[in-house]
């Protein structure tokens, strides 16, 4: 267990951590290798946009494929899913966050990013926005970016836990100014996610002056080193890290299972409320997250390369399918109890995003 508490400044996240972390060339010795850069944004006016730049294995052709995927959700309207896939029209730096797939790109320095989504390849939908970090990017307390499985396992970098977004959005030939709150992280691995994870909960929230990023992983037995799930909890303001912990059992997580609001899979993993609790150095932190509005789902067998052929065959025989769901979280409530007996606990509320990933392909 490792932690950093009460620091006035956070460690600086070097740009190479958000650069390409897997080899440029596909290897048959690691056929499940993948990587993606993820951005979500909650815009003023209620719209949510999610964008991802994905490197995925194409085992049939023994090479990597590259994909941009965009989800656009109105507060009271239909959801749009847009994507573009290519093999060769790509440039990704191994030194800094500089990713281009087709004419869409994500470029930055670890603090400020420019995100461009090309409308020509996304059914007329486009973005050209700048995301400026409002709080420090998370540097893992033990200095490693690996969250599960050692150096050949799974990595995660959270470069922008919370950023201010400004720029333009194009739809149906019309370009408008937009603003909002954004988030960016980066994942990679060398094995199928179905072989390593039974399920996970992840999310982020803007809670007044505070930002919270939380993760709870239920690993498979092959990736479990102890008896507890793996957690990561990061609570930060613009000038102070309140909590930065990562590892097995570093937080108490309560997530009673309930029917999923997703109309296409009510049996997918879901909790009506998720609570993270952490006590250290006399202070107690309680983070309560309430999924409020369904955003979208992903069929993890049909729509991703996160499982291999054997796992797909097993999934075909299962009643409950491997599934991913994402929700707007509101309210998200942070309670800080200084434990000094002098004042009342401080309670702050905000909103965010929460996702549930459900593989259950291995014990």
Q: What is the pLDDT of residues 231-253, one digit of tens each?
A: 999 999 988 899 999 999 999 99
Q: What is the pLDDT of residues 121-169, one digit of tens each?
A: 999 999 999 999 999 999 988 888 999 988 778 999 999 999 999 999 9
* Residue in this structure with the two tokens 């670890």, named with its chain if needed: 110
Q: How far is CA 101 from CA 90, 91, 117, in A?
A: 5, 7, 10
Per-residue pLDDT band for 341 (boundaries 50, 70, 90) equals low
**pLDDT (0 to 100) of residue 140:** 87
* Residue in this structure with the two tokens 């955003």, named with its chain if needed: 295
Query: What is the Cα–Cα distance from 66 to 102, expressed in whole angstroms?
Result: 9
Query: What is the Cα–Cα distance from 219 to 125, expressed in whole angstroms?
Result: 37
> For residue 107, which of 128, 134, 81 has the smallest C-alpha distance?
128
For residue 355, give the DSSP letter.
E
For residue 331, pLDDT over 50 is answered with: yes
Which secondary-structure segment (H or E) carries 287?
Answer: strand 283-299
Q: Which residues contact 243 (CB under 8 A, 6 or more apart)?
A: 3, 5, 233, 234, 235, 236, 278, 280, 285
Query: What is the Cα–Cα distance from 67 to 124, expressed in whole angstroms?
Result: 17
> Which two tokens mark 171?
């739809």
Which secondary-structure segment (H or E) carries 289?
Answer: strand 283-299
Region 30-44 average pLDDT: 95
> For residue 153, which of 164, 163, 144, 166 has the smallest C-alpha distance?
144
Domains of the chain: 2-358 (2.40.370.10)
**pLDDT (0 to 100) of residue 10:** 61
Query: What is the Cα–Cα distance from 300 to 198, expressed in whole angstroms?
Result: 13
For residue 152, give the DSSP letter.
G
pTM: 0.92
Reduced to 3 states, what is the DSSP secondary structure of residue 115? strand
The DSSP result for 161-222, as a single string, is: EEEEEEEEEEETTEEEEEEEEEEEEEEEESS-HHHHEEEEEEEEEEETTEEEEEEEEEE-GG
Query: What is the Cα–Cα distance from 288 to 104, expressed in whole angstroms?
Result: 36
Q: What is the pLDDT of residues 265-294, one digit of tens each?
A: 999 999 999 999 999 878 899 999 999 989
* Residue in this structure with the two tokens 């390593």, named with its chain if needed: 196
**pLDDT (0 to 100) of residue 76:** 74
Label residue 60 exposed, middle or buried (CB < 10 Å: 0-12, 13-18, 19+): exposed
Which secondary-structure segment (H or E) carries 310?
Answer: helix 309-316
For residue 352, give the DSSP letter.
E
């Amino acid at each position: 267990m490792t932690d950093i508490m009460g620091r006035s400044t956070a460690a600086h996240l070097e740009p190479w951590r958000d650069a390409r972390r897997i080899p440029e060339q596909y290897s048959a010795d690691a056929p499940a290798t993948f990587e993606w850069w993820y951005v979500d944004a909650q815009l003023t006016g209620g719209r949510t946009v999610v964008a991802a730049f994905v490197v995925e294995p194409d085992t049939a052709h023994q090479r990597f494929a590259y994909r941009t995927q965009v989800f656009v959700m109105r507060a009271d309207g239909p959801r749009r899913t847009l994507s573009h896939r290519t093999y060769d029209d790509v440039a990704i730096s191994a030194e800094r966050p500089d990713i281009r797939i087709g004419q869409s790109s994500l470029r930055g320095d670890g603090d400020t990013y420019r995100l461009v989504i090309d409308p020509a390849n996304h059914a007329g939908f486009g973005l050209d926005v700048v995301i400026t970090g409002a709080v420090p990017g998370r540097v893992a307390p033990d200095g490693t970016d690996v969250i599960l499985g050692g150096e050949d396992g799974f990595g995660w970098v959270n470069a922008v836990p919370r950023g201010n977004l400004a720029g333009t959005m194009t739809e149906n030939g019309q370009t408008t100014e937009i603003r909002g709150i954004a988030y960016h992280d980066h994942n990679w691995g060398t094995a199928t996610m179905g072989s390593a994870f039974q399920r996970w909960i992840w999310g982020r929230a803007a809670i007044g002056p505070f930002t919270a990023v939380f993760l709870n992983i239920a690993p498979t037995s092959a990736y479990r080193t102890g008896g507890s799930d793996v957690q990561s909890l990061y609570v930060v303001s613009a000038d102070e890290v309140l909590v930065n912990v990562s590892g097995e059992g570093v937080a108490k997580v309560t997530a009673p299972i309930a029917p999923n609001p997703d109309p296409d899979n009510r049996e997918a993993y879901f909790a009506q409320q998720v609570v993270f609790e952490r006590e250290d150095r006399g202070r107690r932190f309680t983070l309560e997250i309430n999924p409020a509005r369904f955003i979208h789902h992903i069929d993890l067998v049909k729509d991703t390369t996160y499982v291999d052929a054997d796992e797909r065959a097993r999934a075909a025989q299962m009643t409950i399918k491997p599934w991913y769901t994402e929700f707007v979280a509101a309210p998200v409530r942070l309670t800080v109890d200084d434990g000094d007996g002098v004042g009342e606990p401080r309670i702050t509320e905000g909103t965010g995003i929460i996702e549930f990933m459900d593989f259950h392909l291995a014990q």
